[in-house]
Structure 1
Amino acid sequence: MIAAESEHSVPVTATLLLVDDEAHVLASLTRLFEDDGEFQIIAKTSAVDALSLLKQTPVDLIISDMRMPEMDGATFLHQASQLWPQTPRVLLTGYADIESTIRAVNEGGIARYVAKPWDDERLLQTVNELLEVKRLREQNARLLHIKEQQRAELQRLTENQESIIQRRTAELEQTASQLEVAYQELHDAYFQSIPLLSHLVEMNERFKKNHSNRVASIARLIAESMELDKAQVRQIFIGALLHDIGKIALEQTIRAKPVDKMSALESKRYRQHPMLGESALLSFDPLREAAQIVRSHHERFDGKGFPDRLSGEGIPLGARIVALANDYDNLLLPNNFLGKALVELQAHEFVINESCKRYDPQVVRAFDQVIDEVHRLLANDKETTLPLAKVEPGMILSQDLINQHGMVMLVAGRKLSEAHIKKLKQFEEAFNSRLMVSVKQTTG
């Protein structure tokens, strides 16, 4: 027999709090659970004392009698649930205590109630089941806590990784933006140099001043008449401006000689200039289409051209357009492939007659539709040469302005401003020279 109030410390897996005002009942319960060997027992004969203990010490399970003098079991278990809501609570009650039992269920949140007298095996089974449920709940809570910690850590790592990715992305975007700006600057600088390159070709060809500009303008009129998109029109215009760029690599004696006066060897060398021009442009991706135009602008629709003897639609459309524009302007100049200059009506008739032979009939029809605009274009291309003192803002250079040292000061096509004229006058004063400026004549 144990004392009315006792605390036992033995190696156990769970601590039970037993509360009953009858010492012999406590002794029976204590003996039952001690004999099982799995429990540490705390026995209290007073519900008030039991609550004082619970305020300081948690337990794994509470078994309480219903009828006690200072505080009944329902009230005690209700207050115990406020302190340790997860601790299972078992009520011992007699058959006459049904109403009190219901109150204990509602207020005390008891897990089970056991009728007196109890069956030892059933009571042990009940306690073990409740402790197993408690253990599983605690294990689940621990796992949930670990999971939440892992989730929080993963979120922290993810946010950190996202921050790193965002920072790296921002750095890459900044680098890409800088590269894009640099590329655009290179792109703009390259395209700004195209007119200068086309004029370099014509510097030593007395009869071909502004030829490339005229060919480019005629080609653009034809391309627009054929309703090609803006990107195609731009490439055709550039290809036309640079169609003779390969001639820079030719000997001056060949460049200065009319085609019909060349020897067989000179003619063979001359026919290489489209390929030389293409190779000069292929290194810059935005000019690849223009490079194809440069290579093929001497091909004929009937396959008798050079350098590849392409025919029909096997010739790039841009090259077919530039071929016609180039020949038409050449026909109006001395030393052309016919050996004599034609007037505009004769040149127009030549183009019409060569449809399906030299020229694509589709391109010929488009050219015929814009012939009046071509005539106006060529009329506006006529020039006059003035001393600098008579040059006015708004005039357009018809030829490159070259000083006595052979340096190009301004390229043809430049619209002169007051600032340009002021700089040129300062140059005259500084070098005691007089500049003669070729400008386009205005009509009307």
Structure 2
Amino acid sequence: MQSADTDQLANTKGQDECLATLLLVEEESSALDLLATALQGDGYRLLKASGGEAALALMERESVDLVITGARVPDMDRVELLSAIQQKWPDCIRVMLTDQADPNAMVHAINKGRVHSVITQPWNDEELHLMLRQALAHQHAEREQKRLEAATQQQNRTLAELNSTLEQRVEARTQELKQLSDMLDAAYVELERSHVTATRALASLLNLRLSSPLQTNAQVDALVRTFAEIHDLDETLRRDLLMAAALYNMGRLIWSDRLLNTPEQKLFAQDQVAYQRYPVTGEKLLTSLEHLQGTARIIRHHRERWNGTGFPDQLEGNAIPYGARLLGLAVDFTELQRGMILPRKVPRQQVLSLLRKFSGRIYDPDLCNAFVKMCLEQAPDLGVVGQSVESLVSSKLKPGMILAQDLYSESGILLLHEGKELTRGLIEKLIHFEEVEDIRYSLLIRKPESQRSGPGSESHRLENKTLPPQ
């Protein structure tokens, strides 16, 4: 053992492996030597001090778990030393050695110094070891309890903070998800619109191949669109129908000019066979476009008949797709008036009579009745049922206005599609186009919500007025 007050006593184990750090305070080194020898094999880290001031100074620098004071502390009353240690390091265990069994002195030490144990010299090594192990185990348990309590308090504070901000964070996340949902919805709507716009643009190119009387797509579209709005058809069916109305005559593009301009009832032999192949040809032209599969099916079957005598597959009754039955009615209603089926143009009222006459043979009777009723009561050629619109010449147009109906040129080219928001640049281009072509267009414009009025107003009369197709 070393003689300096702050020397560390020899230990058989390394400092990192020690069970606890013990400080031995005693004036006589021989007493410390005996105590150190008794404790040396227990794995403790042993420190010594020969006086009270030295002991306090040492504890300022070292972490001490347990202090044992001998019978003699020269510069300080040992009870005062233990009291000072208790005040500054309350969790440090305090043990006092005494060579006298004075009950009053023991009580005084316990009360003032808060002594954990008093050991009478000479001590019993076994009892000394047991007492130290129990004292240090109790100390470890108290420290662990304090650590757990501190950790629990920290967790409680963290949970309280989380709870206080949970509602705000949930609301913020909900808003983020809503914004993402709105963005996806907008992207989907724009994608759907781009499909429809591309289809109508393609239909306008078809019109370049057809003479003006044969350009039926706009009127067929208006009829189908109006029926779909009145009867609130499924959105997917509505989309497929509108695209079919724009593209149903694609299969006629391979016809000769003579065949194109010959009414159906005047076709014979090979011409009749070619005529009956056009729905299949139109379907084949669309088979590579995934989003137009429903449209292709409608086009293939729109010339089938309710009694099974149609083409190309002789489907009968409800086996004919609903969309194909409706498109067939709209096509016949339009092409009969254009002179494309019979050798003469049939007036509108006579066409409606023919539809009723062949109901149950060529046409689905229930669907035919609903279609004729629509043609009699609504504005099927307008295609803007349920909207408040106004007709404006190009000079009255303003940026921000929304087009309520497709605008076609005299040659059948799609100039502007329904739903298009007009810009100053578009308006200027339209006016310039009118000047070059020496023509004037009237555009159907959606009225803002604030300008819509009830029955009896000019806009209400316009909604119910039948206008010729653009």
Q: Same fold by TM-score, threshold 0.5 exceeded?
A: yes
Amino acid at match of 1:53: L
Q: Which residue of 420, 436, 440 corresponds with 2:430?
A: 420
Alpha-carbon offset, residue 234 of structure 1:
4.0
Map residues 325-344 of structure 1 onto 2, 5 A cutoff: 325-336=330-341, 338-344=342-348
| TM-score normalised by length of structure 1 | 0.67
Secondary structure of the residue aligned to 1:272 is: helix
Map residues 304-383 of structure 1 onto 2, 5 A cutoff: 304-336=309-341, 338-373=342-377, 377=381
Tell which deviates more after alignment, 20-29 or 116-125. Answer: 20-29
Alpha-carbon offset, residue 138 of structure 1:
9.5
Map residues 279-294 of structure 1 onto 2, 5 A cutoff: 279-294=284-299
Aligned to 2:23: 17
Aligned to 1:401: 410
Structure 2 CA distance for aligned equivalents of residues 6 and 229 of structure 1: 93
| 2:61 paired with 1:52 | no
**Could you list the runs of 5+ residues in structure 1 that have no partner in the other structure?**
143-169, 379-390, 429-434
Structure 1 CA distance for aligned equivalents of residues 354 and 217 of structure 2: 20
Alpha-carbon offset, residue 321 of structure 1:
0.8
CA 1:275 to 1:33, structure 2 compared with 1: closer, same or farther past 3 Å?
Answer: same
Aligned to 1:161: none
Alpha-carbon offset, residue 322 of structure 1:
0.8
CA 1:129 to 1:374, structure 2 compared with 1: closer, same or farther past 3 Å?
Answer: closer
Contact 1:209 1:399 in 2 (8 A): no
Contact 1:394 1:417 in 2 (8 A): no
Alpha-carbon offset, residue 122 of structure 1:
0.6
What is the total number of aligned residue pairs between the two structures?
Answer: 383
CA 1:221 to 1:130, structure 2 compared with 1: closer, same or farther past 3 Å?
Answer: same
- Compute the RMSD of aligned alpha carbons: 4.9
Structure 2 CA distance for aligned equivalents of residues 328 and 362 of structure 1: 16
CA deviations 1:138-191 (Å, max 9, x no partner) are: 99999xxxxxxxxxxxxxxxxxxxxxxxxxxx9xx99xx89x97x977765553
Aligned to 1:239: 244
Aligned to 2:401: none
What is the percentage of aligned positions where both structures have the same residue?
A: 26
Structure 2 CA distance for aligned equivalents of residues 375 and 2 of structure 1: 115
Structure 1 CA distance for aligned equivalents of residues 396 and 276 of structure 2: 40
Tell which deviates more after alignment, 408-417 or 110-119. Answer: 408-417
Alpha-carbon offset, residue 412 of structure 1:
11
Map residues 157-176 of structure 1 onto 2, 5 A cutoff: none
Q: Which residue of 84, 90, 95 corresponds with 1:90?
A: 95
Structure 2 CA distance for aligned equivalents of residues 30 and 410 of structure 1: 105
Aligned to 1:100: 108
Alpha-carbon offset, residue 367 of structure 1:
1.2
Structure 1 CA distance for aligned equivalents of residues 2 and 350 of structure 2: 137
| 2:233 paired with 1:224 | no
Structure 1 CA distance for aligned equivalents of residues 271 and 194 of structure 2: 35
**Could you list the runs of 5+ residues in structure 2 that have no partner in the other structure?**
148-175, 383-392, 398-404, 444-465
Secondary structure of the residue aligned to 2:23 is: strand
Structure 2 CA distance for aligned equivalents of residues 418 and 314 of structure 1: 51
Map residues 241-280 of structure 1 onto 2, 5 A cutoff: 241-280=246-285
Amino acid at match of 1:96: N
Contact 1:249 1:276 in 2 (8 A): no
Contact 1:222 1:363 in 2 (8 A): no
Alpha-carbon offset, residue 240 of structure 1:
1.4
Secondary structure of the residue aligned to 2:339 is: coil
Tell which deviates more after alignment, 361-370 or 58-67. Answer: 58-67
CA deviations 1:117-148 (Å, max 9, x no partner) are: 53221102222455567789999999xxxxxx
Aligned to 1:431: none
CA 1:29 to 1:96, structure 2 compared with 1: closer, same or farther past 3 Å?
Answer: farther
Structure 2 CA distance for aligned equivalents of residues 135 and 367 of structure 1: 91
